[in-house]
Amino acid sequence: MNWARPDKLLNSKEMESSESTKNTVKQILSEYLTKHSMRKTPERFAILDKIYSIKGHFDVETIYSMLIEDNYHVSKATIYNNIGILLDCKLVIRHQFGGSTTQYEKSYKAGVHNHFICTKCGIVKEFTDTNIKRAVHNKHIKDFTVESYTLYVYGICDKCKQKEEKESK
Amino acid sequence: MNWARPDKLLNSKEMESSESTKNTVKQILSEYLTKHSMRKTPERFAILDKIYSIKGHFDVETIYSMLIEDNYHVSKATIYNNIGILLDCKLVIRHQFGGSTTQYEKSYKAGVHNHFICTKCGIVKEFTDTNIKRAVHNKHIKDFTVESYTLYVYGICDKCKQKEEKESK
DNA sequence: TTTACTGCAAATATTTTGCAATATC
DNA sequence: GATATTGCAAAATATTTGCAGTAAA
């Protein structure tokens, strides 16, 4: 098997997960594919590898252009298809922040984090909070098995707030 | 001024907000429009009134068909336009659960609530939890003014879980 | 050899936009 | 009367789907 491993300097959007993390997620995908009688195509592992080189959120377009930039051609249809699989095996999570595209994020060992979203400019800032985490996990929801959560806190960032104050003068 | 007030039996999707709530939100919208030199069109108040007769989530299509059913014609473009305004004056909030349409919900006096989303069938169940509420409000986020929050808890509902167990036999 | 997967293009669906007609102020 | 808003249709955009060719098993 020959995983696509681009050998180049990483741009600002990229930040390698540790090799061991990448190997682990490949393993998880591999087992998932075997279990479901699906094929181990190079595209699948190239997409997974690329996703695990991205720090933060991304959309399908981002993955697509990053792979093209590596001279690794995959169609968008294939990316959509495979992100679906990665969602199923919990290697990726989906975010819907309210922009026009669906955002995704690697989820293995990424840790739970919360998002602050400015309702004016749309900037997203992440934070962690153990009290919130504890409160969510202490909540027993009838008839449901909890797997994960996402918290979106809405408000106004300082930049936009200052802009607003100027405008109302 | 002549607010559209449909005088008919309510269907299952509908549940009147109290008259006083409806009057209050009309007041809020009215003041917002005045402040921004925008016009008080009957469409705006008809849409607001309809939204405040809906319990739970809705999308643009829903509002559209409900108004058509009342023989009140508004174009979808107008609904999109006005939901934008209602978002601005905080009378409506937006949800992106992951389906194909954007979902909205009335927000005045609706209370904060959290959502459980089944990752298999997509069913959304609401719940409230004061511990979570407290934890979020205790969180001080640097450089941000918090206005509201939404929590999405993901997992599997009992129905889907049972289905899964059957399949793996 | 079988058939799952990829890539392309066409289809679908939601939301946005342009513009003429209309109605608010 | 001036112009913001509506309604319609067309446009834009993201995602899905159908299908022929390719490649994994």
* Helix (H/G/I), strand (E/B), else coil: B20: helix
Residue A6 pLDDT greater than 50, yes or no: no
The Cα of B161 is separated from the nearest Cα of chain A by a number of Å equal to: 8
What pLDDT is stored for residue B166 in this prediction?
A: 64
Q: What is the pLDDT of residues B93-111, one digit of tens each?
A: 988 887 889 999 999 877 7
* Helix (H/G/I), strand (E/B), else coil: B74: coil
- Chain B residue nearest residue A104, CA to CA: B98
Q: What is the pLDDT of residues A69-100, one digit of tens each?
A: 999 999 999 999 999 999 999 999 988 887 88
Indicate the range of B32-36, B39-43, B76-80, B93-97 predicted with least confidence.
B93-97
Residue A130 pLDDT greater than 80, yes or no: yes
Is B60 within 7 A of strand C by CB distance? yes
**What amino acid occupies position A43?**
E
Report the percent of chain B where pLDDT is more than 70: 85
Burial-class residue B60 by CB neighbours within 10 Å (0-12, 13-18, 19+).
middle
**What amino acid occupies position B154?**
Y
DSSP collapsed to 3 states, chain A:
CCCCCCCCCCCCCECCCCHHHHHHHHHHHHHHHHHCCCCCCHHHHHHHHHHCCECCCECHHHHHHHHHHCCCCCCHHHHHHHHHHHHHCCCEEEECCCCCCCEEEECCCCCCCEEEEECCCCCEEEECCHHHHHHHHHCCCCCEEEEEEEEEEEEEEHHHHHHHHHHCC
Using an 8 Å Cβ cutoff, are A42 and A72 in contact? no
- Chain A residue nearest residue B36, CA to CA: A168
What's the rounded Cα separation, in Å, for the pair A99 and A102?
7
User: What's the mean per-residue pLDDT of chain B?
Assistant: 84
Distance, angstroms, CA B126 to C1' C7?
41
Q: Which of B115, B76, B111 shows the shortest CA–CA distance to B95?
A: B115
Residue B142 pLDDT greater than 80, yes or no: no
Q: Which is it for the CA torsion A131, A134, A140, A145, positive or negative?
A: positive
Residue A117 pLDDT greater than 90, yes or no: no
- Chain B residue nearest residue A123, CA to CA: B144
| pTM of structure | 0.80
Q: What is the pLDDT of residues B52-68, one digit of tens each?
A: 999 889 999 999 999 99
B40, closest nucleotide (Cα–C1'): C24
| Of A142 and B25, the one with more pLDDT | B25
Average pLDDT of the residues in A53-82: 95
Average pLDDT of the residues in A125-129: 86
The Cα of B21 is separated from the nearest Cα of chain A by a number of Å equal to: 24
8 Å CB contact of A136 and B127: no
* Residue A127 burial (CB count, 10 A): 15
